[in-house]
Amino acid sequence: MKKLNLYFFIFLLILACSKSDDSGAEIEIIEEEIEQIFSCVSYDKQLDPQNTNQDDLMQYWYKFVDDVKCTRGGPDYGERNPSPNIFFEYRTVAQIASGVTPDHIAYSTFSGYCNDSAVNVGVLYNEWTEKNLLQRLWIMYHEFGHDVYKYEHSTDRADIMFPASTRGDININDFIEAKDRMFKRSFPGIKYIPCPS
Question: Does 74 fall in a domain?
Answer: yes
Q: Greater confidence, 24 or 105?
A: 105
Q: Tens digit of pLDDT for each residue in 145-185?
A: 999 999 999 988 889 998 875 667 788 999 999 999 999 99
Question: Does 176 fall in a domain?
Answer: yes
Average pLDDT value for residue range 78-101: 79
Q: Tens digit of pLDDT for each residue in 46-63?
A: 565 555 577 889 999 999
Read off the pLDDT band of 88 (50, 70, 90).
very high
Question: Does 68 fall in a domain?
Answer: yes
Q: Tens digit of pLDDT for each residue in 98-119?
A: 666 566 788 887 777 788 888 9
CATH number, domain of 120, equals: 3.30.2010
Residue 9 and residue 1 in contact, taking contact as beta carbons nearer than 8 Å: no
Question: Does 31 fall in a domain?
Answer: no
- Residue 98 burial class via C-beta count within 10 angstroms: exposed 0-12, middle 13-18, buried 19 and up: exposed
Q: Can you tell me the distance from the alpha carbon of 155 to that of 188, in angstroms, rounded to the nearest whole number?
A: 8
Residue 75: asked if its preceding bond is cis (omega within 30°), the reply is yes
DSSP 87: E
Question: Does 92 fall in a domain?
Answer: yes
Question: Does 35 fall in a domain?
Answer: no
Domain carrying residue 112 = 52-183
Question: Does 27 fall in a domain?
Answer: no
Domain count, the chain: 1
